[in-house]
Amino acid sequence: MGTNYYAKINICSCCNRPEETVHLGKSSAGWSFALQYNGGRFYTDFKGMKSWLKDKVIENEYGEKVSKEVFIDMVEIKKKIKDPDADYGPMSGKIIKINGYKFFDWEFS
């Protein structure tokens, strides 16, 4: 079981809906944080992600707001976890390791 995290972009002050929602990744028990690469559209590494998040609202899949600091700490703490052996099949080649962080460049939940 895990929890997905999203960045909400340009939230409307009237209706509170974002212009766009970007999947940041998933935190699962016993695994390092699975970051979403999004084709490099918004960031190309974790340092770039941290900078890009500066004016974004972060929420988990349950609609709970998460501060940028809490999100970054969670990812950095989970970076130290050695993942169990896993076979992602044909998607294995799309796992990108950048400076010790694990990014996936395909849609996952």
- In a domain, residue 46? The reply is yes
**pLDDT above 90: percentage of residues in the chain:** 68
Prediction pTM value:
0.88
**How many domains does one find in the chain?**
1
User: Per-residue pLDDT tens for 42-86?
Assistant: 999 999 999 999 999 999 999 999 999 999 999 999 998 887 766
Percent helix, percent strand, percent coil in the chain, to nearest 5: 30, 35, 40
- In a domain, residue 109? The reply is no
- In a domain, residue 74? The reply is yes
For residue 106, what pLDDT band results from cuts at 50, 70 and 90?
confident
CB within 8 A of 37, min separation 6: which ones? 96, 103, 104, 105
Residue from 63, 7, 3 nearest 27 by CA: 3
